[in-house]
Structure 1
Amino acid sequence: MTDRRDFKGYFGAEPAPNWPNAARLAVSFVVNVEEGAELSIADGDERNENTYEIREEIVGHPDPCMETHFTYGTRQGYARIADAFDAYGVKATFSTCGRAAQRSPWLLQDAVSRGHEVSCHGWRWERQAEMVGEDEAAMIARTHSAIEQASGVAPVGWHTRSAPSVNTRDLLLAHGGFVYDSDVYDDDIPRMHDASHVILPYAFDTNDMRFSPGGGFVQHRDFSEYVIGAFDRLYAEGAKATRMMSIGLHLRLIGRPGRIAGLEDVLAHIASKSDAWIAPRFQIAAHWKAIQA
Protein backbone atom coordinates (compact mmCIF):
# COMPACT_ATOMS: atom_id res chain seq x y z
CA MET A 1 0.00 0.00 0.00
CA THR A 2 1.29 3.44 -0.95
CA ASP A 3 0.22 5.95 1.67
CA ARG A 4 0.02 9.70 1.16
CA ARG A 5 1.15 10.11 4.81
CA ASP A 6 4.60 9.29 6.18
CA PHE A 7 4.14 7.44 9.47
CA LYS A 8 7.76 6.29 9.79
CA GLY A 9 9.75 9.49 9.47
CA TYR A 10 13.33 9.12 10.72
CA PHE A 11 12.61 5.95 12.71
CA GLY A 12 15.68 3.72 12.79
CA ALA A 13 17.85 6.33 11.07
CA GLU A 14 17.67 9.54 13.09
CA PRO A 15 20.34 12.05 12.10
CA ALA A 16 23.22 12.53 14.52
CA PRO A 17 23.50 15.85 16.40
CA ASN A 18 24.81 18.53 14.04
CA TRP A 19 23.83 21.92 15.45
CA PRO A 20 26.31 24.81 15.59
CA ASN A 21 29.00 24.69 18.28
CA ALA A 22 28.11 21.09 19.13
CA ALA A 23 24.78 22.13 20.65
CA ARG A 24 22.61 19.25 21.82
CA LEU A 25 19.30 20.97 21.10
CA ALA A 26 17.99 23.78 18.87
CA VAL A 27 15.36 25.86 20.68
CA SER A 28 12.94 28.13 18.84
CA PHE A 29 10.77 30.66 20.67
CA VAL A 30 7.83 31.67 18.47
CA VAL A 31 5.75 34.69 19.47
CA ASN A 32 2.43 34.77 17.63
CA VAL A 33 1.34 38.32 16.81
CA GLU A 34 -2.38 38.14 16.02
CA GLU A 35 -3.77 41.27 17.65
CA GLY A 36 -5.93 43.16 15.18
CA ALA A 37 -6.15 40.14 12.85
CA GLU A 38 -8.77 38.31 14.92
CA LEU A 39 -12.21 38.11 13.31
CA SER A 40 -14.37 41.06 14.32
CA ILE A 41 -17.70 42.27 13.00
CA ALA A 42 -16.57 45.80 13.87
CA ASP A 43 -13.78 45.36 11.30
CA GLY A 44 -16.19 44.12 8.64
CA ASP A 45 -15.51 40.40 9.17
CA GLU A 46 -18.23 37.79 8.87
CA ARG A 47 -18.23 36.96 12.58
CA ASN A 48 -16.48 37.61 15.87
CA GLU A 49 -13.61 35.50 17.17
CA ASN A 50 -14.69 33.23 20.04
CA THR A 51 -11.32 31.84 21.16
CA TYR A 52 -9.98 33.93 24.00
CA GLU A 53 -10.00 34.09 27.82
CA ILE A 54 -13.68 33.21 28.03
CA ARG A 55 -15.81 30.91 25.88
CA GLU A 56 -18.34 33.24 24.35
CA GLU A 57 -19.24 34.58 20.95
CA ILE A 58 -21.33 37.69 20.39
CA VAL A 59 -23.33 37.03 17.24
CA GLY A 60 -24.39 39.82 14.92
CA HIS A 61 -22.95 42.67 16.97
CA PRO A 62 -19.51 44.17 17.68
CA ASP A 63 -17.69 42.61 20.65
CA PRO A 64 -15.57 45.17 22.56
CA CYS A 65 -14.85 42.54 25.26
CA MET A 66 -13.11 40.26 22.78
CA GLU A 67 -11.36 43.10 20.99
CA THR A 68 -9.89 44.61 24.15
CA HIS A 69 -8.72 41.18 25.27
CA PHE A 70 -6.65 40.96 22.10
CA THR A 71 -5.43 44.57 22.30
CA TYR A 72 -3.91 43.86 25.72
CA GLY A 73 -1.24 41.92 23.88
CA THR A 74 0.13 44.96 22.05
CA ARG A 75 -0.47 47.51 24.81
CA GLN A 76 1.14 45.51 27.65
CA GLY A 77 2.09 41.94 26.78
CA TYR A 78 4.65 42.67 24.08
CA ALA A 79 6.87 44.81 26.30
CA ARG A 80 7.03 42.14 29.03
CA ILE A 81 7.95 39.41 26.55
CA ALA A 82 10.50 41.53 24.68
CA ASP A 83 12.16 42.62 27.93
CA ALA A 84 12.34 39.00 29.14
CA PHE A 85 14.10 38.00 25.91
CA ASP A 86 16.50 40.92 26.23
CA ALA A 87 17.40 39.90 29.78
CA TYR A 88 18.68 36.54 28.50
CA GLY A 89 19.96 37.63 25.09
CA VAL A 90 17.35 35.49 23.32
CA LYS A 91 16.36 36.08 19.70
CA ALA A 92 12.92 34.79 18.71
CA THR A 93 10.61 34.55 15.73
CA PHE A 94 7.57 36.84 15.75
CA SER A 95 5.02 34.98 13.63
CA THR A 96 2.73 37.77 12.50
CA CYS A 97 -0.61 38.07 10.75
CA GLY A 98 -0.61 40.56 7.89
CA ARG A 99 -3.50 42.61 9.24
CA ALA A 100 -1.82 42.76 12.65
CA ALA A 101 1.39 43.99 10.99
CA GLN A 102 -0.54 46.66 9.14
CA ARG A 103 -2.14 47.92 12.37
CA SER A 104 0.94 47.79 14.63
CA PRO A 105 4.01 48.38 12.45
CA TRP A 106 5.79 49.97 15.41
CA LEU A 107 5.78 46.61 17.19
CA LEU A 108 7.49 44.79 14.34
CA GLN A 109 9.99 47.59 13.90
CA ASP A 110 10.83 47.36 17.59
CA ALA A 111 11.18 43.57 17.38
CA VAL A 112 13.53 43.86 14.40
CA SER A 113 15.59 46.51 16.19
CA ARG A 114 16.11 43.98 19.02
CA GLY A 115 17.37 41.36 16.57
CA HIS A 116 14.25 39.20 16.23
CA GLU A 117 12.86 37.59 13.09
CA VAL A 118 9.41 38.48 11.75
CA SER A 119 7.62 35.74 9.80
CA CYS A 120 4.17 35.23 8.24
CA HIS A 121 1.09 33.88 10.02
CA GLY A 122 -1.65 34.47 7.45
CA TRP A 123 -3.55 37.68 6.74
CA ARG A 124 -6.31 37.19 9.30
CA TRP A 125 -6.06 34.83 12.29
CA GLU A 126 -7.87 31.95 10.58
CA ARG A 127 -7.31 28.51 9.14
CA GLN A 128 -6.79 28.07 5.42
CA ALA A 129 -8.20 24.59 4.88
CA GLU A 130 -11.27 25.84 3.01
CA MET A 131 -9.51 28.42 0.86
CA VAL A 132 -9.47 27.95 -2.90
CA GLY A 133 -6.21 28.30 -4.82
CA GLU A 134 -6.45 31.82 -6.25
CA ASP A 135 -7.81 33.30 -3.03
CA GLU A 136 -5.14 31.64 -0.92
CA ALA A 137 -2.36 32.70 -3.29
CA ALA A 138 -3.56 36.30 -3.12
CA MET A 139 -3.73 36.12 0.67
CA ILE A 140 -0.14 34.80 0.87
CA ALA A 141 1.10 37.62 -1.36
CA ARG A 142 -0.82 40.24 0.62
CA THR A 143 0.54 38.93 3.92
CA HIS A 144 4.14 38.83 2.71
CA SER A 145 3.90 42.37 1.36
CA ALA A 146 2.30 43.79 4.51
CA ILE A 147 4.94 42.29 6.80
CA GLU A 148 7.82 43.44 4.62
CA GLN A 149 6.36 46.94 4.47
CA ALA A 150 5.71 47.12 8.22
CA SER A 151 8.98 45.57 9.44
CA GLY A 152 11.37 46.66 6.71
CA VAL A 153 12.53 43.05 6.22
CA ALA A 154 11.18 40.51 3.72
CA PRO A 155 9.85 37.48 5.68
CA VAL A 156 11.12 34.00 4.77
CA GLY A 157 8.91 31.82 7.01
CA TRP A 158 5.25 30.82 7.10
CA HIS A 159 2.97 29.21 9.67
CA THR A 160 -0.79 28.76 9.27
CA ARG A 161 -3.18 29.04 12.18
CA SER A 162 -4.61 25.54 12.57
CA ALA A 163 -5.08 23.72 9.26
CA PRO A 164 -3.42 24.82 6.01
CA SER A 165 -5.02 23.86 2.75
CA VAL A 166 -3.69 20.99 0.64
CA ASN A 167 -2.20 23.66 -1.63
CA THR A 168 -0.52 25.95 0.92
CA ARG A 169 3.06 24.69 0.62
CA ASP A 170 2.95 24.64 -3.18
CA LEU A 171 1.60 28.19 -3.16
CA LEU A 172 4.40 29.32 -0.85
CA LEU A 173 6.95 27.84 -3.27
CA ALA A 174 5.22 29.46 -6.23
CA HIS A 175 5.22 32.85 -4.51
CA GLY A 176 8.95 32.69 -3.93
CA GLY A 177 11.01 34.07 -1.07
CA PHE A 178 9.94 31.54 1.53
CA VAL A 179 12.74 29.41 2.97
CA TYR A 180 10.65 27.40 5.42
CA ASP A 181 7.19 26.70 6.75
CA SER A 182 6.05 25.30 10.11
CA ASP A 183 2.79 23.65 9.11
CA VAL A 184 3.59 20.24 10.62
CA TYR A 185 3.36 18.84 14.16
CA ASP A 186 4.73 15.36 13.61
CA ASP A 187 8.39 15.40 14.64
CA ASP A 188 11.18 16.84 16.79
CA ILE A 189 13.53 17.00 13.79
CA PRO A 190 13.41 19.32 10.76
CA ARG A 191 13.27 17.92 7.24
CA MET A 192 13.53 19.07 3.65
CA HIS A 193 10.51 19.34 1.35
CA ASP A 194 12.75 19.71 -1.67
CA ALA A 195 16.29 20.94 -2.21
CA SER A 196 15.45 24.50 -1.15
CA HIS A 197 12.49 24.42 1.25
CA VAL A 198 12.78 23.41 4.92
CA ILE A 199 9.94 22.11 7.10
CA LEU A 200 10.36 23.07 10.77
CA PRO A 201 7.93 21.22 13.07
CA TYR A 202 5.84 23.27 15.50
CA ALA A 203 4.13 22.17 18.74
CA PHE A 204 0.86 22.83 20.54
CA ASP A 205 1.87 21.28 23.88
CA THR A 206 4.88 23.46 24.73
CA ASN A 207 2.69 26.44 24.05
CA ASP A 208 1.00 29.11 26.16
CA MET A 209 -2.22 28.53 24.20
CA ARG A 210 -2.92 26.00 26.94
CA PHE A 211 -3.75 28.94 29.24
CA SER A 212 -6.97 29.27 27.22
CA PRO A 213 -10.10 27.83 28.89
CA GLY A 214 -9.82 24.05 29.17
CA GLY A 215 -6.19 24.02 28.05
CA GLY A 216 -4.78 22.78 31.35
CA PHE A 217 -2.47 25.67 32.30
CA VAL A 218 -3.62 27.98 35.11
CA GLN A 219 -0.61 29.04 37.19
CA HIS A 220 2.58 30.33 35.60
CA ARG A 221 4.39 27.29 36.96
CA ASP A 222 2.07 25.00 34.94
CA PHE A 223 3.65 26.43 31.81
CA SER A 224 7.23 26.51 33.07
CA GLU A 225 7.21 23.03 34.60
CA TYR A 226 5.77 21.44 31.46
CA VAL A 227 8.08 23.28 29.07
CA ILE A 228 11.16 22.67 31.22
CA GLY A 229 10.26 18.98 31.42
CA ALA A 230 10.03 18.78 27.65
CA PHE A 231 13.29 20.68 27.27
CA ASP A 232 15.13 18.37 29.65
CA ARG A 233 13.94 15.27 27.79
CA LEU A 234 14.87 16.63 24.35
CA TYR A 235 18.19 17.91 25.71
CA ALA A 236 19.02 14.43 26.98
CA GLU A 237 18.03 12.79 23.69
CA GLY A 238 20.06 15.41 21.84
CA ALA A 239 23.27 13.78 23.03
CA LYS A 240 22.70 11.02 20.45
CA ALA A 241 20.31 12.38 17.82
CA THR A 242 19.18 15.68 16.33
CA ARG A 243 16.47 17.40 18.33
CA MET A 244 14.60 20.69 17.87
CA MET A 245 12.15 22.28 20.31
CA SER A 246 9.46 24.89 19.58
CA ILE A 247 8.02 27.03 22.38
CA GLY A 248 4.89 28.90 21.30
CA LEU A 249 3.90 32.20 22.89
CA HIS A 250 1.18 34.80 22.43
CA LEU A 251 1.33 38.45 23.44
CA ARG A 252 -2.07 38.39 25.13
CA LEU A 253 -1.47 35.09 26.96
CA ILE A 254 2.03 34.72 28.44
CA GLY A 255 2.25 38.52 28.51
CA ARG A 256 -0.22 38.71 31.41
CA PRO A 257 1.29 39.71 34.78
CA GLY A 258 0.32 36.42 36.42
CA ARG A 259 1.92 34.36 33.66
CA ILE A 260 5.10 36.13 32.53
CA ALA A 261 7.11 34.50 35.32
CA GLY A 262 6.53 31.18 33.56
CA LEU A 263 8.45 32.44 30.53
CA GLU A 264 11.16 33.95 32.72
CA ASP A 265 11.64 30.62 34.51
CA VAL A 266 11.94 28.78 31.19
CA LEU A 267 14.48 31.28 29.90
CA ALA A 268 16.56 30.99 33.06
CA HIS A 269 16.57 27.19 32.86
CA ILE A 270 17.56 27.03 29.22
CA ALA A 271 20.20 29.74 29.68
CA SER A 272 21.86 27.53 32.29
CA LYS A 273 22.74 25.02 29.54
CA SER A 274 25.66 26.29 27.49
CA ASP A 275 25.09 23.69 24.77
CA ALA A 276 21.50 24.62 23.92
CA TRP A 277 21.24 26.71 20.74
CA ILE A 278 18.43 29.29 20.93
CA ALA A 279 17.84 30.80 17.50
CA PRO A 280 15.16 32.37 15.28
CA ARG A 281 13.59 29.90 12.91
CA PHE A 282 15.21 31.37 9.80
CA GLN A 283 18.63 30.57 11.28
CA ILE A 284 17.61 27.02 12.14
CA ALA A 285 16.21 26.55 8.64
CA ALA A 286 19.34 27.98 7.01
CA HIS A 287 21.58 25.68 9.06
CA TRP A 288 19.48 22.63 8.27
CA LYS A 289 19.47 23.41 4.57
CA ALA A 290 23.25 23.88 4.60
CA ILE A 291 24.00 20.55 6.28
CA GLN A 292 21.65 18.70 3.93
CA ALA A 293 23.30 20.08 0.80
Structure 2
Amino acid sequence: MRDFVGHGPTAPLDRWPDGSLVAVNIVVNVEEGAEASWADGEGNDSWGEYTIPIDPTVRDLGTEGHFEFGSRVGIWRLVRLFERFDAPVTFGVCARALERNPPFAEWLRASGHDVLGHGYRWAEVSQMSEEEERADLERAMRVLPELVGRPVRGWYVRSFPSERTRRLAAAHPDLVYDSDSCNDELPYRVEVDGRPWLVVPYTKVHNDTRYFLAPTYAAPRHFAESLIGAADFLLDEARHGAGARLMSVGLHPRWSGQASRATAVRDFLHHVTTTPGITLVHRDQVVRWWIENVR
Protein backbone atom coordinates (compact mmCIF):
# COMPACT_ATOMS: atom_id res chain seq x y z
CA MET A 1 0.00 0.00 0.00
CA ARG A 2 1.36 3.41 -0.96
CA ASP A 3 1.79 6.06 1.76
CA PHE A 4 1.31 9.70 0.74
CA VAL A 5 1.60 11.14 4.29
CA GLY A 6 4.93 10.08 5.78
CA HIS A 7 6.14 12.07 8.80
CA GLY A 8 3.94 15.05 8.03
CA PRO A 9 5.05 18.67 8.65
CA THR A 10 7.78 18.03 11.24
CA ALA A 11 10.42 15.41 11.94
CA PRO A 12 10.24 12.93 14.84
CA LEU A 13 13.53 14.35 16.20
CA ASP A 14 14.34 18.00 16.95
CA ARG A 15 18.00 17.28 16.31
CA TRP A 16 20.25 14.25 15.98
CA PRO A 17 21.67 12.61 19.13
CA ASP A 18 25.09 14.20 18.54
CA GLY A 19 23.47 17.66 18.60
CA SER A 20 23.60 18.32 14.86
CA LEU A 21 20.63 19.59 12.89
CA VAL A 22 21.59 18.10 9.51
CA ALA A 23 23.20 14.70 9.03
CA VAL A 24 24.84 14.19 5.62
CA ASN A 25 25.44 10.66 4.40
CA ILE A 26 27.56 10.13 1.29
CA VAL A 27 27.00 6.79 -0.43
CA VAL A 28 29.73 5.69 -2.84
CA ASN A 29 28.36 3.14 -5.30
CA VAL A 30 31.07 0.55 -5.96
CA GLU A 31 29.82 -1.20 -9.10
CA GLU A 32 32.86 -1.44 -11.36
CA GLY A 33 33.46 -5.08 -12.23
CA ALA A 34 29.92 -6.13 -11.36
CA GLU A 35 28.31 -4.61 -14.45
CA ALA A 36 27.32 -6.66 -17.49
CA SER A 37 30.24 -7.28 -19.85
CA TRP A 38 31.17 -9.56 -22.71
CA ALA A 39 34.06 -10.94 -20.69
CA ASP A 40 31.48 -12.38 -18.29
CA GLY A 41 29.17 -13.59 -21.05
CA GLU A 42 26.55 -10.98 -20.11
CA GLY A 43 26.59 -8.57 -23.06
CA ASN A 44 27.17 -4.83 -22.73
CA ASP A 45 26.20 -2.31 -20.07
CA SER A 46 25.32 1.27 -21.03
CA TRP A 47 26.18 3.17 -17.84
CA GLY A 48 29.77 4.13 -18.53
CA GLU A 49 30.81 7.58 -19.71
CA TYR A 50 28.37 7.54 -22.62
CA THR A 51 24.64 6.93 -22.39
CA ILE A 52 24.51 5.78 -26.04
CA PRO A 53 24.26 1.97 -26.11
CA ILE A 54 26.40 0.16 -28.66
CA ASP A 55 25.01 -2.58 -30.93
CA PRO A 56 24.57 -5.54 -28.55
CA THR A 57 26.23 -7.83 -31.10
CA VAL A 58 29.49 -5.85 -30.74
CA ARG A 59 31.67 -5.81 -27.63
CA ASP A 60 31.68 -2.34 -26.02
CA LEU A 61 35.33 -1.93 -25.04
CA GLY A 62 34.82 1.80 -24.50
CA THR A 63 32.28 1.37 -21.73
CA GLU A 64 34.32 -1.44 -20.20
CA GLY A 65 37.24 0.99 -20.01
CA HIS A 66 35.11 3.65 -18.32
CA PHE A 67 34.14 1.16 -15.62
CA GLU A 68 37.77 0.10 -15.19
CA PHE A 69 38.75 3.74 -14.64
CA GLY A 70 36.46 3.81 -11.63
CA SER A 71 38.19 0.91 -9.90
CA ARG A 72 41.74 1.71 -11.07
CA VAL A 73 41.75 5.49 -10.45
CA GLY A 74 38.44 6.98 -9.39
CA ILE A 75 37.92 5.07 -6.16
CA TRP A 76 41.36 6.04 -4.87
CA ARG A 77 40.82 9.72 -5.73
CA LEU A 78 37.63 9.68 -3.67
CA VAL A 79 39.33 7.77 -0.85
CA ARG A 80 42.05 10.44 -0.66
CA LEU A 81 39.39 13.14 -0.38
CA PHE A 82 37.53 11.31 2.38
CA GLU A 83 40.77 10.83 4.29
CA ARG A 84 41.76 14.47 3.76
CA PHE A 85 38.49 15.69 5.29
CA ASP A 86 38.24 12.84 7.84
CA ALA A 87 34.81 12.11 6.37
CA PRO A 88 32.83 9.02 7.35
CA VAL A 89 31.00 7.62 4.32
CA THR A 90 28.97 4.60 3.29
CA PHE A 91 30.20 2.33 0.51
CA GLY A 92 27.34 0.65 -1.35
CA VAL A 93 29.21 -2.37 -2.67
CA CYS A 94 28.48 -4.98 -5.31
CA ALA A 95 30.24 -8.10 -4.08
CA ARG A 96 31.69 -9.08 -7.46
CA ALA A 97 33.21 -5.62 -7.81
CA LEU A 98 34.96 -6.01 -4.47
CA GLU A 99 36.19 -9.50 -5.35
CA ARG A 100 37.89 -8.02 -8.43
CA ASN A 101 39.63 -5.17 -6.61
CA PRO A 102 41.61 -6.76 -3.75
CA PRO A 103 43.55 -3.57 -2.84
CA PHE A 104 40.31 -1.67 -2.31
CA ALA A 105 38.79 -4.61 -0.44
CA GLU A 106 41.79 -4.57 1.90
CA TRP A 107 41.51 -0.81 2.40
CA LEU A 108 37.78 -1.05 3.10
CA ARG A 109 38.30 -3.91 5.55
CA ALA A 110 40.86 -1.86 7.49
CA SER A 111 38.74 1.29 7.46
CA GLY A 112 35.93 2.22 9.81
CA HIS A 113 33.55 3.04 6.98
CA ASP A 114 30.06 1.65 6.61
CA VAL A 115 29.21 -1.02 4.01
CA LEU A 116 25.80 -1.27 2.33
CA GLY A 117 24.94 -4.33 0.24
CA HIS A 118 24.35 -3.50 -3.44
CA GLY A 119 23.93 -6.97 -4.94
CA TYR A 120 26.43 -9.55 -6.09
CA ARG A 121 26.13 -8.33 -9.67
CA TRP A 122 25.08 -4.82 -10.66
CA ALA A 123 22.00 -5.94 -12.56
CA GLU A 124 18.34 -4.99 -12.80
CA VAL A 125 16.54 -7.25 -10.36
CA SER A 126 13.20 -6.20 -11.88
CA GLN A 127 14.22 -8.34 -14.89
CA MET A 128 15.07 -11.38 -12.75
CA SER A 129 12.88 -14.18 -11.46
CA GLU A 130 12.35 -14.35 -7.72
CA GLU A 131 14.75 -17.29 -7.50
CA GLU A 132 17.45 -15.35 -9.39
CA GLU A 133 17.02 -12.25 -7.22
CA ARG A 134 17.13 -14.29 -4.00
CA ALA A 135 20.25 -16.11 -5.17
CA ASP A 136 21.99 -12.83 -6.01
CA LEU A 137 21.15 -11.38 -2.58
CA GLU A 138 22.24 -14.48 -0.69
CA ARG A 139 25.50 -14.74 -2.64
CA ALA A 140 26.32 -11.08 -1.94
CA MET A 141 25.50 -11.53 1.75
CA ARG A 142 27.91 -14.47 1.94
CA VAL A 143 30.75 -12.74 0.11
CA LEU A 144 30.62 -9.18 1.46
CA PRO A 145 31.01 -9.87 5.22
CA GLU A 146 33.93 -12.17 4.46
CA LEU A 147 35.67 -9.48 2.39
CA VAL A 148 35.02 -6.52 4.70
CA GLY A 149 35.31 -8.38 8.01
CA ARG A 150 32.09 -7.06 9.56
CA PRO A 151 28.32 -7.47 9.25
CA VAL A 152 26.39 -5.87 6.40
CA ARG A 153 23.04 -4.57 7.71
CA GLY A 154 21.55 -2.66 4.78
CA TRP A 155 20.53 -3.44 1.21
CA TYR A 156 19.69 -1.65 -2.03
CA VAL A 157 19.66 -2.72 -5.66
CA ARG A 158 20.25 -1.12 -9.04
CA SER A 159 17.83 1.51 -10.37
CA PHE A 160 14.56 -0.42 -10.23
CA PRO A 161 13.73 -2.68 -7.29
CA SER A 162 11.16 -5.40 -7.91
CA GLU A 163 7.93 -5.81 -5.97
CA ARG A 164 9.64 -8.59 -4.02
CA THR A 165 12.97 -6.85 -3.26
CA ARG A 166 12.01 -5.56 0.19
CA ARG A 167 10.43 -8.87 1.17
CA LEU A 168 13.57 -10.79 0.18
CA ALA A 169 15.83 -8.36 2.06
CA ALA A 170 13.64 -8.45 5.17
CA ALA A 171 13.76 -12.25 5.16
CA HIS A 172 17.56 -12.26 5.50
CA PRO A 173 18.57 -12.58 9.16
CA ASP A 174 21.48 -10.10 8.96
CA LEU A 175 19.64 -7.24 7.24
CA VAL A 176 17.71 -4.59 9.17
CA TYR A 177 16.97 -1.91 6.55
CA ASP A 178 16.82 -1.14 2.84
CA SER A 179 17.56 2.00 0.86
CA ASP A 180 15.60 1.28 -2.30
CA SER A 181 13.05 4.04 -1.75
CA CYS A 182 13.40 7.69 -2.76
CA ASN A 183 10.04 8.82 -1.35
CA ASP A 184 11.37 10.64 1.74
CA GLU A 185 14.51 12.12 3.25
CA LEU A 186 14.18 10.67 6.75
CA PRO A 187 14.04 7.00 7.77
CA TYR A 188 10.64 5.43 8.40
CA ARG A 189 9.20 2.08 9.42
CA VAL A 190 7.02 -0.25 7.40
CA GLU A 191 5.65 -3.72 8.01
CA VAL A 192 6.93 -6.66 5.96
CA ASP A 193 5.26 -10.03 6.43
CA GLY A 194 3.95 -8.90 9.81
CA ARG A 195 7.31 -7.63 11.09
CA PRO A 196 8.67 -4.06 11.45
CA TRP A 197 11.24 -3.05 8.86
CA LEU A 198 13.28 0.16 8.53
CA VAL A 199 13.63 2.14 5.31
CA VAL A 200 16.44 4.68 4.97
CA PRO A 201 15.66 6.52 1.73
CA TYR A 202 18.23 7.13 -0.99
CA THR A 203 18.28 9.91 -3.60
CA LYS A 204 18.36 10.12 -7.38
CA VAL A 205 18.55 13.95 -7.18
CA HIS A 206 21.66 14.62 -5.07
CA ASN A 207 23.47 12.12 -7.25
CA ASP A 208 26.23 12.33 -9.84
CA THR A 209 24.07 10.41 -12.32
CA ARG A 210 22.76 13.88 -13.08
CA TYR A 211 25.89 14.47 -15.16
CA PHE A 212 24.19 12.22 -17.73
CA LEU A 213 20.45 12.50 -17.08
CA ALA A 214 18.74 15.64 -18.40
CA PRO A 215 18.82 18.33 -17.20
CA THR A 216 22.54 17.62 -16.83
CA TYR A 217 25.23 19.50 -14.94
CA ALA A 218 27.21 21.50 -17.50
CA ALA A 219 30.17 21.74 -15.10
CA PRO A 220 31.20 20.13 -11.80
CA ARG A 221 30.56 23.40 -9.97
CA HIS A 222 26.87 22.97 -10.78
CA PHE A 223 26.87 19.67 -8.88
CA ALA A 224 28.71 21.29 -5.98
CA GLU A 225 26.29 24.22 -5.95
CA SER A 226 23.33 21.83 -5.98
CA LEU A 227 24.69 19.84 -3.02
CA ILE A 228 25.74 22.90 -1.02
CA GLY A 229 22.41 24.60 -1.68
CA ALA A 230 20.52 21.55 -0.44
CA ALA A 231 22.60 21.23 2.73
CA ASP A 232 22.16 24.92 3.53
CA PHE A 233 18.42 24.81 2.90
CA LEU A 234 17.99 21.78 5.15
CA LEU A 235 19.97 23.55 7.87
CA ASP A 236 17.75 26.62 7.53
CA GLU A 237 14.65 24.41 7.74
CA ALA A 238 15.91 22.74 10.90
CA ARG A 239 16.75 26.09 12.50
CA HIS A 240 13.18 27.21 11.84
CA GLY A 241 11.58 24.26 13.59
CA ALA A 242 11.25 21.53 10.96
CA GLY A 243 13.32 19.12 13.03
CA ALA A 244 16.41 17.05 12.28
CA ARG A 245 17.18 16.68 8.59
CA LEU A 246 19.00 13.93 6.66
CA MET A 247 20.70 14.47 3.31
CA SER A 248 21.82 11.51 1.20
CA VAL A 249 24.35 11.98 -1.61
CA GLY A 250 25.12 9.38 -4.28
CA LEU A 251 28.57 9.17 -5.90
CA HIS A 252 30.18 6.74 -8.39
CA PRO A 253 33.96 6.29 -8.74
CA ARG A 254 33.83 6.15 -12.56
CA TRP A 255 32.12 9.56 -12.63
CA SER A 256 32.96 11.61 -9.55
CA GLY A 257 36.42 10.02 -9.50
CA GLN A 258 37.34 11.94 -12.65
CA ALA A 259 39.71 14.79 -11.73
CA SER A 260 37.42 17.61 -12.86
CA ARG A 261 34.30 16.21 -11.21
CA ALA A 262 36.16 15.40 -8.00
CA THR A 263 36.37 19.16 -7.43
CA ALA A 264 32.63 19.11 -6.72
CA VAL A 265 33.11 16.44 -4.04
CA ARG A 266 36.05 18.37 -2.57
CA ASP A 267 34.13 21.65 -2.39
CA PHE A 268 31.08 20.00 -0.86
CA LEU A 269 33.17 18.21 1.77
CA HIS A 270 34.89 21.47 2.64
CA HIS A 271 31.53 23.19 3.05
CA VAL A 272 29.81 20.61 5.24
CA THR A 273 32.86 20.03 7.44
CA THR A 274 33.16 23.77 8.19
CA THR A 275 29.48 24.60 8.68
CA PRO A 276 28.20 24.42 12.30
CA GLY A 277 25.07 22.31 12.66
CA ILE A 278 25.98 19.87 9.86
CA THR A 279 27.66 16.52 10.46
CA LEU A 280 28.84 13.73 8.16
CA VAL A 281 27.62 10.28 9.18
CA HIS A 282 27.61 6.62 8.21
CA ARG A 283 24.27 5.24 7.12
CA ASP A 284 24.47 2.62 9.85
CA GLN A 285 24.91 5.41 12.40
CA VAL A 286 21.63 6.93 11.23
CA VAL A 287 19.98 3.51 11.54
CA ARG A 288 21.20 3.11 15.12
CA TRP A 289 20.13 6.62 16.06
CA TRP A 290 16.68 6.04 14.62
CA ILE A 291 16.13 2.66 16.26
CA GLU A 292 17.25 4.01 19.64
CA ASN A 293 15.41 7.35 19.60
CA VAL A 294 12.30 7.07 17.39
CA ARG A 295 9.47 4.74 18.31
Give the TM-score category using the shorter length: over 0.9
Which residue number in structure 2 is paired with residue 53 of structure 1? Answer: 49
Residue correspondence of structure 1 range 1-293 to structure 2 within 5 A = 4-45=1-42, 47-54=43-50, 55-194=52-191, 197-212=197-212, 214-239=214-239, 240=241, 241-293=243-295
SS at match of 2:222: helix
Query: 1: CA distance between counterparts of 2:102 and 2:179?
Result: 23
Query: 1: CA distance between counterparts of 2:45 and 2:70?
Result: 15
Instruction: Tell me the alpha carbon deviations over residues 205-263 of structure 1, each in whole angstroms, 9 at most, x when there is no partner.
Output: 11111122645113110110011011111111123213110011000101001111110
Gaps of 5+ in 2: none
Pair 1:123–1:163, CA change in 2 (3 A): same
Shift of 1:196: 5.5
Query: 2: CA distance between counterparts of 1:126 and 1:170?
Result: 18
Asked if 1 retains the 8 angstrom alpha-carbon contact of 2:109 and 2:147, the reply is: no
Asked if 1 retains the 8 angstrom alpha-carbon contact of 2:66 and 2:254, the reply is: yes
* Number of aligned residues: 289
Normalised by the size of structure 1, how large is the TM-score? 0.93
Normalised by the size of structure 2, how large is the TM-score? 0.93
The one-letter code matched in structure 1 to 2:19 is A
SS at match of 1:91: coil
Superposition RMSD on alpha carbons, in Å? 1.7
The one-letter code matched in structure 2 to 1:76 is V
Asked if 2 retains the 8 angstrom alpha-carbon contact of 1:192 and 1:289, the reply is: no
Shift of 1:18: 3.4
Runs in 1 of length 4+ with deviation above 4 angstroms?
A: none
Asked if 1 retains the 8 angstrom alpha-carbon contact of 2:48 and 2:64, the reply is: no
Asked if 2 retains the 8 angstrom alpha-carbon contact of 1:42 and 1:63, the reply is: no
SS at match of 2:125: coil
Query: 2: CA distance between counterparts of 1:265 and 1:14?
Result: 28
Query: 1: CA distance between counterparts of 2:184 and 2:125?
Result: 22
SS at match of 1:193: strand
Percent of counterpart pairs with the same letter? 35
